[in-house]
Amino acid sequence: MASHRRPKQPSRARVTVLTTAAAAAVALSSQAANAAPSEKPSKDEVKAKVDKLYEEAEQATEKFNGAKEKQEKLQKEISTIQDNVARGQDELNELRDSMGLAAAAQYRSGGVDPSLQLFLSSNPDDYLDKASTADQLSAQQVEALKKIQEKQRELAQERSEASEKLKDLASTRTELGKKKQQVQTKLSEARTLYNSLTAAEKAKLEAEQERASRDSGREVLGSGTAASGRAGAAYAWAQSQLGKPYVYGATGMSSYDCSGLTSRAYAAAGVGIPRTSEAQSTIGTKIYSQSQLQVGDLVFFFNDLHHVGLYAGNGQIIHAPRTGTVVRYESMGTIGGPFMFGVRV
């Protein structure tokens, strides 16, 4: 007969040893994890991350500028339409008053024409479609009624157009708010990351940037000729703005963003160009070879064309780079994105 022996239970001492060993293993594991905290990123790593955030902020800035420009354009168009409607309403009132005077004259001479009386009490649109009514009116009255009809149609169309533009304006304002928030979020993240550096690290970075700008300025001296008189004038004006800070959405005179500087520079030269970098890229003559660029040409960077500057000669540009910097000279090779093409205005 087979024996059915119960398995031997571990002794209390053995359980205690196993429990103690497990606890020790957990403690050692925890100590090991705590003993190897993530290392603080280096100055160069922080700079790379900050530069990336600023690039994303500039992308959002150009979209913000586009929405702002659209908003301003819509506001002007709506104002023009509203002025037209007001003038049109005055003209309509004058036409109606003239019909009223005709009715008064008829009344004094012995009564108001039934068809004219009918018009004065309601809308004339239905009446001219009825031959019997038209037959009872004089040619002058028919012409006056037609003018009133036409003016009413114009006003209805203009009011409808204004209504649609007001809806578009509301949508654009919402988009503008979102783009502004995107810019502010990126800038806030960049500032927080930059502030994680020590004072010495910040000073070193600033010194490096200032030295690079000085070197670029020396490279520019005596190099290149302007593409045209107006390009030369735009470039000379941009030089007068060196040292002024970058501020997103700014067009001067105390601060600029990238396209704000270029649009103001050409305005100073008597040439109106669009506000945003993307729109500026659609004007003038495109120049794809860097060797063909001349001083004062617009130069565009990154695949989405969100950055623009003015060519300064010898592979250098003058531009408003990003938040935390000023209008300065810089080598095209250090912009952070590829040169796409130039535009000769």
Contact 244, 326 (CB under 8 A): yes
- Please give the distance of CA 282 from its chain centroid, rounded to a whole number: 16
Q: Find the catalytic residue in 319, 322, 328, 344.
A: 319
Residues β-bridged to residue 286: 343
Tokens of residue 74, six digits: 């819509």
Q: Find the catalytic residue in 258, 269, 310, 332.
A: 258
Alpha helices in the chain (DSSP H): 12-35, 43-108, 114-121, 131-135, 139-194, 199-220, 229-239, 258-268, 277-280
Tokens of residue 326, six digits: 């000023």
Integer Cα distance of 345 and 262 in angstroms: 11
- Which position has the token pair 């501020």? 247
Is position 307 annotated as part of the catalytic site?
yes
Give the three-state DSSP class for 342: strand
Task: Please tell me what DSSP assigns to residue 109.
Answer: T
Task: Please tell me what DSSP assigns to residue 247.
Answer: -
Integer Cα distance of 84 and 165 in angstroms: 15
Is position 258 annotated as part of the catalytic site?
yes
Contact 320, 261 (CB under 8 A): yes
What is the DSSP annotation of 29-72?
A: HHHHHHHSPPPPPPHHHHHHHHHHHHHHHHHHHHHHHHHHHHHH
Integer Cα distance of 153 and 166 in angstroms: 20
Which amino acid is residue 203, in one-letter code?
A: A
Contact 133, 127 (CB under 8 A): yes
Distances (CA, A) of 200 to 41, 48, 61, 197: 15, 17, 30, 8
Is position 18 annotated as part of the catalytic site?
no
| 263 closest CA partner among 319, 317, 333 | 319
Integer Cα distance of 186 and 161 in angstroms: 37
Q: Find the catalytic residue in 165, 307, 322, 328.
A: 307
Q: Which positions are annotated as active-site residues?
A: 258, 307, 319
